[in-house]
Structure 1
Amino acid sequence: MPELTIRAAVAADLPAITAIYEEAVLHGTATFEIEPPNLAEMTRRYEALASAGFPYFVAVDGDQVLGYAYAGSYRPRIAYRFTVENSIYLAPAAQRRGIGSRLLATLIESCAAKGFRQMVAVIGDSANAGSIAVHRNAGFEMVGTNPNVGFKFGRWLDTVSMQKALGDGGETLP
């Protein structure tokens, strides 16, 4: 039986990534998108991150993509250039198996190596205990909650902000 591997995502992974994200959009509250983006849009998003030098990883078992994680710009203004926001999505069958934690650890290591100093997680739905725990276990601290900022599935949803210093964080100049 193949062993779980975390590796850089490639274009051939995008159909599986698109399917995982579609499931999250249609059935979950981790993302506030309502309509799942198609493969062309997911490819555009992937290429934008890759061309900007941001890390994008997949967790694979053999040739099956079980989940993915990436970091992107936290905000577009130049002063935020040392801060990234992370995203992690798993196929339903891959949840609660430690895969999200492994993806996040790889992402943190990669972002620190690239010189980023802060990583922010904006977690959709304050009831998303799994994602909050994965981030807490990786050393993220709770920054705050924005109550009732999203509306999906007929109810209001919060976002939870968590943050982790990378490398020297804000202790030294970049």
Structure 2
Amino acid sequence: MRRLILLSCTLLTAAAQAGSMPSLMPSEGKWAITTEMPPEQKAAMGKMDPKAQEMMKQRGMDMDLKAGTMTMTMCLNKQNINRWHEAGEAQHAKAKNDRQCDEPKYDVSGNTMTMDMKCSKPEEMTMHSVFQFNAAHDGYTFEHTMTSPKRQMHMKGSAKKVGSC
């Protein structure tokens, strides 16, 4: 689930790593990114051991099982925008090294950014995301659809700037 929550950050950053920053980006500061959990994820998270829940909180992630959401906080600034997707992914280092994705394609129209990406490793998958920013760029909503030969997953959520870093 954590990797899925970070997908909104990953897709935005992937374009930056490809050498061209999207013209539409969040403003600098501390952000809270809230993702709605599908019922099966909510059930799995409800069975999580208290130690694991505490570790998640220490890494800036908080679950609200009643609401069915998970919120991650992170700081975005000029120094880390190109590494925004790496937050909290240290234990996924091996998987990151094995990941193989094409350069993302994005389109910006007004306050909406659409991104598409295709990956071949560790499994074949396509991702389509739509980000709808507010006028001040201090909040946005997102929807992601990830499709692999085994399944399709749809996620949505929102992000808002909650202060300074």
TM-score, structure 1 length as denominator? Answer: 0.26
Q: Which has the higher contact order (CA 8 A, sep 6+)?
A: 2
